[in-house]
Structure 1
Amino acid sequence: MSTTTQNSASQRRRVHYVFNNQEVPRLTIRQLFDTRRFSRLTAVTGELDADFFNQHLSDFIQVEIALGAPEQTTPQTADETATKGALTNALLAVANKQPARLFEALSGQNQLNVLNGLYTVEQAPVQAIHSRFYLLSDDTGAQTRVILGSINLTAASFDEHHNQLEEVLVFDNSPLYANFMQRFKNDLKPVLKNYFSTELLSAAQKQLDAMKKDQKAGKDVGNVIILGNETTDQIAIADMTELISHDVQQQIDRGIVGQEITKAMRDITTDRALVKDELERSIHQHDAIFNLQKDSVSPRAAKPTLKTREKIYKRVRQTLMTDMTPQERSAEKKYTTFLYDRPMERNLANDNSGLYVPNDAGTYPIPFGKLATISEIRDGLKSIDAVMQGYAKYVVDYTPDYGRRFYEAILYSFTAPFLWEIRSKASLNPEDGNDVPNFLVLGATAGSGKSTLLRIINQLTWNTDRSLIDFGTIYPTETPQKKLKTVQALEHYMKTGSTYPVLVDEIEPYFFQQDQYSRHLIVDTMNDLVNHPHAVAPLIGTTNYDSGFTMLRETARRTYYLQIDKVIDEAQKGEANKYIYNVRQTLNNTLFKDFVVRMATLLSDDETPWRTFDKQTGRLDFLANTRKLFKEYYEMADLPLPDFFADAICDDFRESARSRWAKLYLTQTEDFKHYADKHSLLFDISKLNTFNGFSADSIEEYRNALPVEICVDGINGKRGKFMEIKEDAFFKWIGEPDPYLEDADFAKEAAAEPERSAAAEPPRKKKGFWARLFG
């Protein structure tokens, strides 16, 4: 791209603002939705983001929002627009619990405003609304504003950095206000129904009443409503039943849609084969919703009518509750630890970290986190020290540097609930987000204490050791497609909305080595997180380390890997087990509760630096502020900083890969052929076969371990039978001298020696290079 083109692209305005018929450079969201001038908002929008609502609409006294429908990509008839478009979208939204999730994501005060009827959100069950307009007024109606354009109630709509063009037209005190208000009342209002259903609001009110009752009794309760899965399941069943049995029939009775809609519902699956190229999950969901619509209408009547409410309810329940097999339901229940990060609810004056956990009865959330006393902080540090001393005493060839791996895992686990927030604060662009990995892998040798470390992490953060998930037993051995379903289960655990880490023991090597598993979970999850920051639980897992362990490069790029490759002394195993058992009896999560309050304070401070880089490796230290807090702990407790304290991010995967190739070169030097003209090395990777003593997977393991930056032609240099490697970069990487560089220097010096000798000495004293070298 030319410089001129780049400049014009950078100067091009993504969002076009017009205010009272005059083009203006820019209007902020706060200026557009000015709550100082206007107190009431009536909006018709395509998308509504909870964060946008919480940040920009909370100060309105009254809000009414109608949610429109996305435009269809394929032409549809009027009946198809109603059934395949509006009704299907409405049913899918309820089935996916989107109304409940939106309500839960609202701030506590906004939730109260919804319950009190001050804020309403609506949708059209059988009408496709593509309108977009926003009407603002003060209490008297003397001051009004109309906003027209393509924007939605999302921050992305107003983001100049998004590669999309938007129009924002603003008219103050214009006759357009009355025109569009009449449009809303006369044409839109009759087709709308509440997005937050009566069932949902009743459940929320019930939880609120329980919280108020416990609050009066002096109990510590939260100020936000989070509905449990069982409650939202029942809400979804009731709401889908209501949509079909009541709302569709009501629209028919009012003449908003014709009687033909029931026939369209019955025939909805006729041409289903035409759209089978959609994503498998999307197909599955649409099929379920389509069949639900079809089964809700009498099958053979000349004039199809809706079945009774009871029959529809039964069918809806069957559709939702039988979507999972008993095995899948059993696998889903293996993850039971929930910790919700809600930054909008932070109240640091009351030591509220913004983290919430379910109360003992599981009926509503309560705040998590509490500042500890100096004595409690000292006890917490001493407990961690006792753990570390156990490894120091019983691990063969233990060193403080090795101990830092265990300590680093503990620091990561403490930080885990906030990683998604740290990622957004530390990233200047989406790609930076990969420097804050959502995956910690402990590559460990059998007998190294890795499973014990995972249990210790669980105790230090959750005060239990029973939250571990065994990778191999998520599904029984005989389960068809066990590998795929296991990875899908892990993905489900991570995306429940909780930010407490998913602790997984004994992850099998195939997960890291086979692209369809590690790429799907690690790469795709990280790509989603860096582009759309939201709360996704980190995963902390162990895997057996041996000479064959490797990860795909793009997986390693997004994973924090710590290598624990030393074993506990076999002769002292009984004593070691007894020691660590006694230490674990003293562990609790008091220090973690204190830590989350202090970390929340740093996250709330705009002056906190989040982009700290290690001077040696150049890597972003995403745990820098965690280290800072722990250093403060030691100072507060008047304890010296231990020698196992991790000062920087470890780079164990890169070091493991370097060591692997260094050993290969030193033992197989003759297989590296020097390509003098290109200053490169050629290596026949097919020689890493079982006949030569290597494992069956060695070719891909070594290929994955070789950094792409030292390959000639980049990624292409790693492919095929012959790998071409940059000579100077390779020897610098493995830490060995370049023998070809030495030979070149010797030859050059030998060629120059006769001329130097002739000029400096008489002919009889002349000696060549080799003569001088050997005397």
Structure 2
Amino acid sequence: MAEQMTLDIGPVKGKESTLFIVLNGEQANLSIEEIFDSHRFKKFMAISYVSSPRFFAKVVKGFEEVEFILGIDSAEQAINFNSVYSLLIDVNKRIDFIKEFDAELQTRVSEDKVKIRYCNTNLPIHTKLYLLENPDTGNTRVIIGSANLTERAFSGEKQYENIAIFDNQPEIFKIYLEWFKKLFSNSFDFVPEEIKKKIKQEKAQTIVLDKEEKANIVTNEIARNLYHIVPLSQEIFEEWKASPQNIQYQAELQANEVRQKTQIIAAITKKDGKVYRLKPPQEIRKMNIVVDTLVSNSLKEDQLQVRQKLIYWDKNDLIYIVSEDNKTAEFSQKAEKDEIKTHISLITEFVEAYRKFTVTKEDKHLGKVMEAILYAFMSVYLWKIREDLVIQYGGESYRANVPIFLVLGGRAYSGKTTALEIIGMLLGNYPPYFISYDTIRKGNVADRELLEGFFGSEYLAPILVDEMPISFFTGRTGENIIKNVSNNAKGKHPVMICTTNMNEFNVPQQILRRIYYLQIDSEFDKRYNLESQEHLTKIRRGINSTLFKDFTYRMGELIREGEPLYLRNDYLYAARKIFEEYYRECKIDLPEWFPKKPFNDYEERGKRWWQEKYKHHKELFQIRPDGTIYVEINELFKDPKEKDFALNMLGPGCINESSHILILNEKEFFEYIGEKKKLNPVIRLIKGLVKS
């Protein structure tokens, strides 16, 4: 007989146990070793949820024979993703379970002396049943009750549980044994045959598999069980398909796990009448299904509570909101005409303030404020455009063509923070409508885990961050975050809108192409402080999320009707069209400053900067016969920081060499700054002679 277990758990001496035990009709106090007595009994049969493989191993170690059916925890979703289909494809869960066993127990599993099974059903197994037997002595024990096979349940001090034990009562034992055998006969091995072989061959406790091996296990399991797995009813299948939206998002991690499993299940099944059956193994192998651990980034959502929890429902292409008590309701709602007119008028008045109360009264500054509002409204759909680009053009790299970072650059008193606040109010955020950089900072740098977790979330409302330091865009941590999420954020995910100091904003090309930069650099005139504050107060009192709700309602209609949401060079195309429609419906003239296409502020800023440098320091730009320009860089830039700034400001193709000297490509540089190409003096002389 295997050795008796020793478990160092149980209630503190002198403290009443929270595990209530009835033995043969009388209350009893038993230790866990006495309950699962492997000296008295040789065989252990059970159905229960198991939270800790290590605790499971300690309990079963002393028995000579073990037959165990895994159940579910009461805390799991009502939609049972511990079904036969779910466990069939979740190879990692099954491997991780046996990894916790010591070498001896792993060997016994590989020899089928310890059998762990899961039922061939799509309904929850919520039973807690334990049957102990000794065929030599005839002793039997039946244990039923509320306690799962977990340390928490049997410790006698962490939660209230009850069990009833029936010793040597043949009729009761027979009834439960027959039921157990019925379920056991209709079950599948939880530990794949490939893993058992690996244990026998390698005799190692650590089990390591690559993705291809895991995928092979899935296809082999399907082949072995193809004609035995219970089919999915249409009702359950449809319920699963809708589950990412219908589950009330009690935990974002659970929703992501359900979604991924749903996609895999949908891929490996096909409809057969009113049920769904597994596809043949050869079809599944062709699909190159790779089964991997369901990994979700944890999101410190409590720090980002200014946002509403907005989700996209695939069933009707509308936006839904998740309430504080985790109930979902439609966010997208059609607004009344007078409500739309009120909001369009207030938005127009807000944008006009950037001319009325500022020093520089140019339409382009107003257009950029409006562009930021359009981006914010469209932000909950940018993930969809990114996905469509990948499908349409056939490459993952096309995702990065739609920037998921909007940066509002400006000087002090330029109104960039006010713009962020109004955007937050229009989206329905909670006060203070945006967060400070300190909220997402960890030490001296941005909290990478938090931010990447945010972009891994399916809550689509954008995160609004005020005063993002330039170090976020130039430092290694921030650069890696921007690159990673821009390139790799897939499926539904939010965006970030932030403000920063324009004078310091200077980023390399690899970051620039992944962000949308708008420069709001017209300062508010302090002489009009009182008047501008009164103007802003009026706007704050009148706006809310009504227009945004209507916007998402109209976007849903466009999506359902198959209308284009974007142009190749304008991912805000649909937002422009809907707002133009608002102005027409409200019979308000479309302002001249309304943006008809995207801005290219960073490039324009760079052009102006280099235009000035060339205009005032032409003697430092030596045009050479080979079509390049040698720049006396040490004379042009006395400060090394200014040199870095200048290089980042050059347009694509301008730089020929920039390691220790600066050589520009003549044609590209002059086109960039809007100058006509200067003829080499020798060529100019030859052309003059030819003319004469």
TM-score, shorter chain, exceeding 0.5: yes
Contact 1:67-1:123 at 8 Å conserved across structures = no
Q: Distance in 1 between matches of 2:654 and 2:582?
A: 42
Paired position in structure 1 for 2:117: none
Paired position in structure 2 for 1:355: 319
Residue segments in structure 2 that go unaligned for 5+ positions in a row: 1-78, 110-121, 127-186, 197-210, 231-235, 259-292
Moved more, 701-710 or 566-575: 701-710
Q: Distance in 2 between matches of 1:384 and 1:445?
A: 22
The Cα of 1:602 is off from its aligned counterpart by 1.6
Paired position in structure 2 for 1:577: 533
Paired position in structure 2 for 1:518: 478
Q: Distance in 1 between matches of 2:446 and 2:367?
A: 34
Describe how 1:476-515 pairs up with structure 2 within 5 A.
481-485=443-447, 487-514=448-475
Q: Distance in 1 between matches of 2:491 and 2:647?
A: 34
Describe how 1:216-615 pairs up with structure 2 within 5 A.
224-229=246-251, 333-346=303-316, 353-359=317-323, 361-427=324-390, 428=393, 429-462=395-428, 464-472=430-438, 474-475=440-441, 481-485=443-447, 487-514=448-475, 516-529=476-489, 533-546=490-503, 548-606=504-562, 608-613=563-568
Paired position in structure 1 for 2:609: 660
Paired position in structure 2 for 1:642: 591
Partner AA of 1:577 in structure 2: Q
- Going from structure 1 to structure 2, the CA distance change for 1:498 and 1:505 (only over 3 Å counts) comes to same
Cα deviation per residue 1:434-482 (whole Å; 9 max; x = unaligned)? 221111000111110010000000111115442311114545xxx7x43
Looking at secondary structure, tell me which structure has more helix per residue.
Answer: 1
Contact 1:463-1:587 at 8 Å conserved across structures = no
Contact 1:82-1:127 at 8 Å conserved across structures = no
In the comparison of the two structures, how many residue pairs are matched?
Answer: 474
SS of 1:66's equivalent? helix
Q: Distance in 1 between matches of 2:104 and 2:465?
A: 46
Contact 1:332-1:489 at 8 Å conserved across structures = no
Q: Distance in 1 between matches of 2:428 and 2:422?
A: 10
Cα deviation per residue 1:528-586 (whole Å; 9 max; x = unaligned)? 03xxx31221000000101x421121111011110111100122223212221222111
Partner AA of 1:342 in structure 2: Y
- Going from structure 1 to structure 2, the CA distance change for 1:339 and 1:130 (only over 3 Å counts) comes to farther
Paired position in structure 2 for 1:293: none
Paired position in structure 1 for 2:678: 739
Q: Distance in 2 between matches of 1:418 and 1:77?
A: 43
Residue segments in structure 1 that go unaligned for 5+ positions in a row: 1-53, 87-112, 132-149, 158-164, 170-175, 186-195, 209-221, 237-281, 287-322, 347-352, 614-619, 757-775
The Cα of 1:727 is off from its aligned counterpart by 0.5
- Going from structure 1 to structure 2, the CA distance change for 1:454 and 1:130 (only over 3 Å counts) comes to farther
Partner AA of 2:536 in structure 1: I
Contact 1:470-1:504 at 8 Å conserved across structures = yes
The Cα of 1:223 is off from its aligned counterpart by 6.9
Looking at secondary structure, tell me which structure has more strand per residue.
Answer: 2
SS of 1:543's equivalent? strand
The Cα of 1:130 is off from its aligned counterpart by 7.4
SS of 1:333's equivalent? helix
Cα deviation per residue 1:16-35 (whole Å; 9 max; x = unaligned)? xxxxxxxxxxxxxxxxxxxx
Contact 1:447-1:568 at 8 Å conserved across structures = yes
The Cα of 1:227 is off from its aligned counterpart by 2.9
Q: Distance in 2 between matches of 1:339 and 1:406?
A: 25
Moved more, 122-131 or 536-545: 122-131
SS of 1:345's equivalent? coil
Partner AA of 2:464 in structure 1: L
Q: Distance in 2 between matches of 1:407 and 1:561?
A: 14
- Going from structure 1 to structure 2, the CA distance change for 1:128 and 1:456 (only over 3 Å counts) comes to farther
Paired position in structure 2 for 1:711: 655
The Cα of 1:374 is off from its aligned counterpart by 1.4
Q: Distance in 1 between matches of 2:327 and 2:502?
A: 42
SS of 1:709's equivalent? coil
The Cα of 1:501 is off from its aligned counterpart by 0.3
Contact 1:358-1:364 at 8 Å conserved across structures = yes
Q: Distance in 2 between matches of 1:583 and 1:392?
A: 16
Moved more, 664-673 or 576-585: 664-673
The Cα of 1:524 is off from its aligned counterpart by 0.9
**1:724 partnered with 2:679:** no
Cα deviation per residue 1:568-615 (whole Å; 9 max; x = unaligned)? 012222321222122211111111100001112222333x224524xx
The Cα of 1:125 is off from its aligned counterpart by 6.7
Contact 1:505-1:541 at 8 Å conserved across structures = yes
Describe how 1:58-97 pairs up with structure 2 within 5 A.
66-69=88-91
Q: Distance in 2 between matches of 1:598 and 1:424?
A: 20
The Cα of 1:69 is off from its aligned counterpart by 2.5
- Going from structure 1 to structure 2, the CA distance change for 1:439 and 1:124 (only over 3 Å counts) comes to farther
Cα deviation per residue 1:136-180 (whole Å; 9 max; x = unaligned)? xxxxxxxxxxxxxx9999xxx9xxxxxxx99999xxxxxx99974
Paired position in structure 1 for 2:686: 748
Q: Distance in 2 between matches of 1:631 and 1:749?
A: 54
Contact 2:380-2:460 at 8 Å conserved across structures = yes
SS of 2:361's equivalent? coil
Moved more, 646-655 or 421-430: 421-430
The Cα of 1:665 is off from its aligned counterpart by 2.0
- Going from structure 1 to structure 2, the CA distance change for 1:658 and 1:518 (only over 3 Å counts) comes to farther
Cα deviation per residue 1:410-450 (whole Å; 9 max; x = unaligned)? 00000111110122224423222222111100011111001
Q: Distance in 1 between matches of 2:419 and 2:527?
A: 20
Q: CA RMSD in A?
A: 4.6
Paired position in structure 1 for 2:276: none
Q: Distance in 2 between matches of 1:688 and 1:81?
A: 74
Contact 1:423-1:436 at 8 Å conserved across structures = yes
Contact 2:566-2:572 at 8 Å conserved across structures = no
- Going from structure 1 to structure 2, the CA distance change for 1:650 and 1:152 (only over 3 Å counts) comes to farther
SS of 1:341's equivalent? strand
Partner AA of 1:518 in structure 2: G
